[in-house]
A and B are shown apart, each in its own frame.
Chain A
Amino acid sequence: MEEKGDLFTKVNTFFSSRTGIIFVGGFVGIVAAILQYEGNPGNMGFCIACFQRDIAGALGLHDAGVVQYLRPEIMGIVLGSLIAAFVFKEFKPRTGSAPIIRFVLGFFAMIGALVFLGCPWRAFLRLAGGDLTAIMGIAGLASGIFLGTLFIRNGFDLGRARKTYPAVGLVLPAVMVLLLVLLVWDPVYSDGTNVILKSLKGPGAMAAPIAISFGIALLVGFFAQRSRFCTVGGIRETILIRDYHLLTGIIALTIAAFATNLALGQFSSGFEDQPVAHTDHLWNYMGMLLAGFAFVLAGGCPGRQLVLSGEGNADSAIFVVGMVAGAAFSHNFRLASSPAGVGEWGIAAVISGIFVCAMIGLTMRRRG
């Protein structure tokens, strides 16, 4: 028993150390490049926003035929985190910190991310693959996070969460198990049509084998839970308290993905013709500004929200559901970009989103 305790302490000390966060960031970068090599779309070994969007499509919540697939990476991250949380006794079901606001933040974070075409993880993966259009996205992300920290400095706070029943914390992990079953089973209706939609062409048709994607994502979820890896937190903590701990994780991710891309012959530098990206620099910037703003008000990047959901945080689970809803709206109402450029209503949606986030930031403040 004591030996087990010692081992747990050693693992905890490692993952909370500088070396630990570099290990986790580096691991995510390397396996992201490998997932691309195994079949995932370009510079999209991992993209939490894109993959949630693909899941929304697979469930028929939007009808963009090129982005429909039940991505097992999302399930793997949540369930890997759940396992880590149980093993290390950190499964703490909680809820009640302004859930509907978290839904709205997730909704608009997704709209912003889909104007840029990627979550923060993918922004750094795009850069690591040589996609220079990602620079404006990353600048936008940092600006959005900076904007959010101004509200945090002025007392913005979504309020306290409360402890709750384990069942509440297990809802999203249970949904992930169900989605995984549907992915593997791939049921058909009596007339032979597929229940779950799957793209025949486009990014949705590009995927690494299920076992590889899911297995890798389980490890990523496990490691991310132990290390608290968070891209938005990395930039936020740098701005707010000059703590560079999580930032070193982001740097490790980018360098490791870059090196692995070089080794696998996946590196191609330039602005034009980058995979699943467009060259409207202003709206790459503004899209990610909105996303960064919404993520920081909600307390973390979308990867982190998945991990927190696995720990039983039902507020983060609501954020995830908000992102899926945001993805459906993005494609149903022409808000999302495509490689051809920004969607018809993308600009209006980003401006509306920034306004809504600012209203949330202004109206939800702790006094004193």
Chain B
Amino acid sequence: MVKRIDVRGLSCPQPVIMVHRKMRKIGTGTFAVIGDDDTARENIRRLARDKDWTIKEKEAGEDFILLLSKA
């Protein structure tokens, strides 16, 4: 079971801060982010690109799930 961060309902900059914190904490590996804010989604996408994490995205109703991983 992949660890999941729930950023639903949180506004900027909380989602990207939580994801950034998680990235720094684990260094490498895989985790998922569930969110509902399009701005947060773009920010996390950009953060992943900048920090060389790969990102897989899927829709889950009104929410989205981002699967982030780094080898």
Instruction: List chain A positions with a Cβ less than 8 A from chain B.
Output: 16, 90, 92, 94, 96-97, 152, 157-158, 160-163, 228, 230, 233, 236-237, 240-241, 243, 245, 299-300, 313, 315
Contacts and interface: CB of A to CB of B under 8 A. Distances in A.
B24 to A, nearest CB: 10
A300 B12 CA distance: 8
A300 B16 CA distance: 14
A300 B50 CA distance: 22
A299 B50 CA distance: 22
B54 interface: no
Contacts of B47: 241, 243
B18 to A, nearest CB: 10
B11 A16 contact: no
What 9 A-B pairs have minimum CB-CB distances, sorted nearest first? A160-B9, A161-B9, A299-B11, A228-B39, A16-B42, A299-B12, A241-B20, A90-B38, A157-B14
Contacts of B42: 16, 228
Interface in B1-33: 8-14, 16-17, 20
Contact of A233 (B9, B12, B37, B46): B12
Interface string B42-55: 11011100100000
Given A90-B38, A228-B39, A243-B50, A152 B9 contact: no
28 contacts: A16-B42, A16-B45, A90-B38, A92-B37, A97-B11, A152-B13, A152-B17, A157-B10, A158-B11, A160-B8, A160-B9, A160-B10, A161-B9, A163-B62, A230-B12, A233-B12, A236-B13, A240-B13, A240-B17, A240-B20, A241-B16, A241-B20, A241-B47, A243-B43, A243-B46, A243-B47, A245-B46, A300-B12
